[in-house]
Amino acid sequence: MKENELATKIIGAAIEVHKQLGPGLLESTYETCLAFELRQIGLDVNQQIALPVIYKDVKLNAGYRIDLLVENKVIIEIKSVEALADIHTAQLLTYLKLKDLKLGLLINFNEVLLKNGLKRVLNGYL
């Protein structure tokens, strides 16, 4: 399955989670529920993946964690904040570069209408 097809399925699942829970909960709650929804539709989902940094040819554990990795192709960074900021996009872009992936979804569940909290981030294209 290509990244765009995955993104469509992920967004549909995120909308379902948001419909059920609404805004105002912890990021970890949305992460757990979204992972459940994605697994229910048959997708491979990994949570809280450690992401090392390569510094001077040495792999270092710097504490970075990917919230969700779907089918080893799409990174999902979950937020529950008042508004998405440029630093959130930069964080996801860094994760995409470190993992050498093309597509990431930044999802802020703390919105009345979830589509206002969705952002696609492409590695190499800002």
**Mind listing the pLDDT tens digit for each residue in 75-116?**
999 999 999 999 999 999 999 998 999 999 999 999 999 999
Burial 68-89 (b: 16+ CB within 10 A, else e): bbbbebbbbbbbbeeebeeebb
User: Could you give the CA distance from residue 70 to residue 105 in angstroms, rounded to a whole number?
Assistant: 11
- Residue 26 tokens read as 């912890």
When pLDDT is averaged across residues 16-33 and rounded to a whole number, the result is: 97
Domains in the chain: ranges and CATH: 3-122 (3.40.1350)
Whole-model pTM: value is 0.93
Q: Are the CB atoms for 82 and 55 separated by under 8 Å?
A: no
Residue 126: pLDDT band with limits 50, 70, 90: very low
